[in-house]
Structure 1
Amino acid sequence: MYRNILRHPGPTPIPKKVQLAMAQDIYSHRSSNFVELYREINERVKPLFGTKQDILLLPSGGTAALEAAAVNAVSPGEDVVVITVGAFGDYFVGICEAYGFNVHKLAIEWGEACTEEILAEFLMPLSNIKAVFCTYNETSTGILNPINQLARVVHSQTNALFIVDGVSCIGGAPAEMDNWGIDILVTGSQKAMMLPPGLSLLSVSDRAWKAIEENMTPSYYLNLLSYRHWAENGMTPNTPAITLIYGLSAVCDLIEEEGYEQTIARHALMRDMVRAAMRSLNIGLLTSDEFASPTITTILTPEGLDLGNYLGYLKKEYHLDFAGGLGPLQGKVFRFGHMGYCFPSDILEAVSLMEAGLQDFNYSFDPGAGITAAQKVFLNRK
């Protein structure tokens, strides 16, 4: 039995310490033990969001938390802007249309980021915008949007809430919710947070709470006012993902042991290692360096290679598991995840196995070029 070398954008590998934490005997979510754990975790997760606001824990995937952000803050018929740079930005479009919002879609070409200039021009003729939705890290393309700059544009040109999907980057990319002016920030457990799927985390600004209190859209299971009320007592309104919350405590341990700034720097280092390796192998990258994600790299199909056969071969022969492309990029790219429980040594391993597969497919390159380039970035990291 070989281990699966999972280099996906989620789910991602789970540390042994987290697995063991989740294997503890379970106790009631109405017990004093849970209240103590909930309140402790709430404080420990705040630095990852860059906020003084409470963190709400929803027993759901990230998409449900994105839906909660939308349905609680906006009413049917109100105008919203959705910035989409890929498949998961389109999720926000679908959510907003499902609830009857009047959607103004700012669609950016896949592989490009939304800049503050583009957003400013798009917002100029619009008025009475209730919220602007944006994906921070787009895993279908490997783009990290300049969220701090976009937030500045939103607040300088509108009175809209700025609602951000941070599902695939919180814990692996800088986040300063309060300083940047993000009104609702969402993440999920199965990405850089190093947990199995099933838990989402969400934080809400004072501005957004006021809008939520005034919003008349009905919601029951995803009612954030209910989550806020119960959180005051260290609980959730419904049965939470208790074992994942045990694991989240262990995740906090690991990040605190490494140091949050070091965790962010490690992700940036791994991004640079992957990009240097691909360039040395004459393999193209979808995105520019300026907006490249620290948690996932989207790689163009090597010239002359049957991508489907190559990825299948890597998984079967070398147990290396990459993700394929989505939407219009299907068959044209593959995605190299480097988030959460992933380290420079894992990048060197994956690049080495990639090279082995390329040789097996008679791809023309200088053997060892990718590993050497990635190793050089690592050795020059300081």
Structure 2
Amino acid sequence: MTFDRWNPLNDAPSFPAARYAAIADRIAKILKTRNDVLLIQAEAVVALEAAALSLARPGLKAINIVTSMYGGWFGTWLRRGGAEVVDLAAEPARPIGLEAVEAALNAHPDIKVLALVHAESASGIRNPLEEIVALARSRGIVTVVDAVASIGGHALGIDELGIDIAVIGPQKALAGPAGVSALSVSPAAWKLISEQGAPRDSILSLLDQKAWLETGRGALSGTTAPLEFFALEAALDRVEAEGIDAIVARHVRAARATRAALVAMGGELWIDALHGSNLVTTAKLPAAADPAAVLSVAPRGIELSAGVGPGAERLIRLNHTGQRARFDIVLGNLTAYGMALRRRGFKADISAAVDAIALHYGD
């Protein structure tokens, strides 16, 4: 056995501490915010849990909008910290209605925190973020937004909207690594987090993470994962070269082309364009179709998968996220879906779908 062959995955060079602050600043530009940006050395679900536990304490009351399992988890974390939580659940695999949010806010005037997911990749829906944040902001409520699946796929201006805490992961529309995440924190959120009883001495304490800001944004605490940060830098290079607005526009185009082609094929959209995500398009299967059977005969290597969670059991997701948001993937997805339906005895006008896609990518 020989050990003289170097592998870049082993004994990786350290990531320069001086570049962490630059990464935070680059993320702030993507988020269009002047709020503090923290880097979390873990997948975004850890950053979400840290936000919940840093806010939660006895006496705090929160509205938690649930449109997937992720919203459900956030409510669990808030309760674990002692908060009183009003879960506001939408119909399964559907976005929350603005009227329901307004009614809940009117019924609970003592709410201090409102949390929601922007876009759901599990079901392909998008919650009315702008309107919900405006309602909360008018009441002085701190907002927490899970933007993991939406950043880069939807327009998101943190300061313009007045979002207090936004959690992102670079692994979806930004086409980056999954093992590192970030969150932005407003002065109002820091004030609430800093109240008596805030958790300390924990990797899930944002106040402990804030020490990085207060000591000049040098080395991060703990043992850093250099490969994740080198990969994040490479992803940010690609994002900046293309431009965040151009990336959003590319996802919008892919979503519009996919929806138009699905309708032209004779398929059924699960959600309309106004309430749909730009990351994935969800198709509702014909009543007699079995999801597993349809996927089993789809051509391999195509971005088709089953919906996830309650209400999404009979949905097929056509994925056009990140670097998949382009003509060849959109075309391949629709062709594969049409072929799978035909192989199971259902009608699918693939030619009409191709024509619809061509209209969106004809320039």
Task: Provide the TM-score with structure 2 as the length reference.
Answer: 0.90
Name the residue aligned to 1:277. 261
Check if 1:224 corresponds to 2:210.
no
Task: Please tell me whether the aligned partners of residues 87 and 140 of structure 1 are also in contact (alpha carbons under 8 angstroms).
Answer: no
What secondary structure does 1:327 align onto? coil
Check if 1:363 corresponds to 2:346.
yes
Measure the CA separation in 2 of the matches of 1:287 and 1:139.
13
Check if 1:63 corresponds to 2:49.
no
Measure the CA separation in 1 of the matches of 2:159 and 2:93.
28
What secondary structure does 1:124 align onto? helix
Name the residue aligned to 1:192. 173
Measure the CA separation in 2 of the matches of 1:173 and 1:77.
35
Runs (4+) of structure 1 moved beyond 3 Å?
Answer: 22-25
What secondary structure does 2:173 align onto? coil
Letter in 1 for 2:171: Q
Q: 1:197 to 1:260 in 2, by over 3 A?
A: closer
Identity across the alignment (%): 29
- Cα deviation 1:155-184 (Å, max 9, x = unaligned): 21x332101101111122111111111110
Task: Please tell me whether the aligned partners of residues 71 and 99 of structure 1 are also in contact (alpha carbons under 8 angstroms).
Answer: yes
Measure the CA separation in 2 of the matches of 1:223 and 1:361.
52
Q: Which runs of structure 2 are paired with 1:56-95 in the superposition (5 Å)? A: 56-95=38-77
Check if 1:345 corresponds to 2:331.
no
Letter in 2 for 1:191: K
Task: Please tell me whether the aligned partners of residues 308 and 331 of structure 1 are also in contact (alpha carbons under 8 angstroms).
Answer: no
**1:262 deviation in Å?**
0.9
- Cα deviation 1:184-237 (Å, max 9, x = unaligned): 000123212312321111110011111122241324112212222224333321
Check if 1:264 corresponds to 2:248.
yes
Task: Please tell me whether the aligned partners of residues 195 and 244 of structure 1 are also in contact (alpha carbons under 8 angstroms).
Answer: no
Q: Which runs of structure 2 are paired with 1:250-329 in the superposition (5 Å)? A: 250-314=234-298, 317-329=299-311
Letter in 1 for 2:359: K
Name the residue aligned to 2:219. 235
What secondary structure does 1:299 align onto? strand
Q: 1:239 to 1:268 in 2, by over 3 A?
A: same
Measure the CA separation in 1 of the matches of 2:234 and 2:40.
18
Task: Please tell me whether the aligned partners of residues 303 and 319 of structure 2 are also in contact (alpha carbons under 8 angstroms).
Answer: no
Q: Which runs of structure 2 are paired with 1:23-62 in the superposition (5 Å)? A: 26-28=12-14, 34-62=16-44
**1:304 deviation in Å?**
2.9
Q: Which has the higher contact order (CA 8 A, sep 6+)?
A: 1
What secondary structure does 1:81 align onto? strand
Q: 1:188 to 1:163 in 2, by over 3 A?
A: same
Task: Please tell me whether the aligned partners of residues 74 and 215 of structure 1 are also in contact (alpha carbons under 8 angstroms).
Answer: no
**1:115 deviation in Å?**
4.1
Name the residue aligned to 1:105. 87
Q: Which runs of structure 2 are paired with 1:146-225 in the superposition (5 Å)? A: 146-156=128-138, 158-219=139-200, 220-225=202-207
Name the residue aligned to 1:376. 359
Task: Provide the TM-score with structure 1 as the length reference.
Answer: 0.86
What secondary structure does 1:328 align onto? coil
Measure the CA separation in 1 of the matches of 2:243 and 2:171.
20
Measure the CA separation in 2 of the matches of 1:42 and 1:95.
26
Q: 1:208 to 1:76 in 2, by over 3 A?
A: same
Task: Please tell me whether the aligned partners of residues 38 and 234 of structure 1 are also in contact (alpha carbons under 8 angstroms).
Answer: yes
Letter in 1 for 2:279: T
Task: Please tell me whether the aligned partners of residues 56 and 202 of structure 1 are also in contact (alpha carbons under 8 angstroms).
Answer: yes
Q: 1:76 to 1:296 in 2, by over 3 A?
A: farther
Q: 1:367 to 1:193 in 2, by over 3 A?
A: closer
Measure the CA separation in 2 of the matches of 1:138 and 1:319.
23
Task: Please tell me whether the aligned partners of residues 129 and 159 of structure 1 are also in contact (alpha carbons under 8 angstroms).
Answer: no
Name the residue aligned to 1:17. none
Measure the CA separation in 1 of the matches of 2:196 and 2:225.
28
Letter in 1 for 2:57: S
Task: Please tell me whether the aligned partners of residues 82 and 132 of structure 1 are also in contact (alpha carbons under 8 angstroms).
Answer: yes
Check if 1:145 corresponds to 2:127.
yes
- Number of residues paired by the alignment? 352
2:316 to 317, 327, 334: 334
Task: Please tell me whether the aligned partners of residues 74 and 130 of structure 1 are also in contact (alpha carbons under 8 angstroms).
Answer: no
**1:153 deviation in Å?**
0.3
